[in-house]
Structure 1
Amino acid sequence: MTDLVGHFLMFSLVGVIFLLAPLLIGLLVRPNKPTDEKISVYECGEPTIGTSYIQFDLRFYVVALLFIIFDVEVAFFFPWAMIFGGSMQLADAQLDHRAELSAKLLDQPATAATHEISRQTAMDIGLLGVGDILVFFSVLLVGFAYVWKRGDLDWVRAVAQEIQEKAKQDGPPVPAPLPIEQREPAPVA
């Protein structure tokens, strides 16, 4: 037990040293020459829209949330695939090791497999699994269609709409005054 604690403390100490050493070296070595350009706010090349209280375009946030939602939902396919694959193996008419596979699916030791899953039960489980995944996938598709219809995936169109709405609010553009060289002389009275 003491050996484990010693290893843990040594690992923690080395980790802290590896984290702090580059920061301290950088603090001592890097030059400190601030200019107006260096201390200005970096906006990723995006023109600002709205007030400065919103520090980033909200479309980044929406797209990130949509990615996380649909990415996490796909992770639910893996447990389903394991159960479906096992039940389809049991439904196979040419299977020789049915008792071992039944024990594995029922979470029992192979010697204590008193309950064996029949071919018909395995087929019923497989069909139920297909129905479940179709319902799950259809809910995902409905959510995707809603997001698509709402326009959250149309990045360029949203910018064009914002520009058009801003132009409508501002009114028609006012022509810029001509330079002095191009103006007609005022009539002399």
Structure 2
Amino acid sequence: MPDYFHGYAVVGLVAVAGVLFVTVSFGAGRLLRPSVPTPEKLLAYECGVDPVGEGWAHTQIRYYVYAFLYVIFAVDSVFLFPWATVFSAEGYGAATLVEMFVFLGFLSAGLLYAWRKGVLAWT
């Protein structure tokens, strides 16, 4: 039983060390950097050109939907690669095959729903 929790302890210590490292780095940067704000430094920088016009830009929602669909299928690929390695192991063939088809069925249902709603029409 101690070996079981040892793996989690190592992951926890690495996570704490990472958070501590980031916190100390940002704190040291805040203490050591010079801070002389001027109106010119507080302007938005766009390729060396002074900002003109308002800062609000309209973006159509369909780009976010495409990004969301991409994330869904990127997660799909994250699950497919380990599945392919387990599928070849002895005794796991039929069970992992059924589980992966159920998983792909859920993804296909989501894609079919998006297609039926007209989300995938690029106009």
TM-score if structure 2 supplies the norm length? 0.54
Partner of 1:71: 74
- Pick the aligned partner of 1:130 from 80, 93, 97: 97
1:81 aligns with 2:81: no
Rg larger in 1 or in 2?
1
Count of aligned positions: 94
CA RMSD of aligned residues (A): 3.8
**Secondary structure at 1:64 match in 2:** helix
2:52 maps to a residue whose letter is: K
**Residue ranges of structure 2 left out of the alignment (5+ in a row):** 1-20
Deviations 1:103-144 (A, max 9, x none): xxxxxxxxxxxxxxxxxxx2xx21221122122212212221
**Residue 106 of structure 1: aligned partner:** none
| Distance in 2, Cα, partners of 1:15 & 1:78 | 41
Q: Say if 1:145 and 1:15 are closer, same or farther in 2 by CA, change over 3 A.
A: farther
Q: Which runs of 5+ in 1 are unaligned?
A: 1-7, 44-54, 88-121, 157-189
Q: Percent identity?
A: 30
Partner of 2:3: none
Partner AA of 1:143 in structure 2: G
- The letter of the residue matching 1:39 is G
What corresponds to 2:41 in structure 1? 27
Runs (4 or more) in structure 1 with deviation over 2 Å come to 13-17, 39-43
Asked if 1:59 corresponds to 2:62, the answer is yes
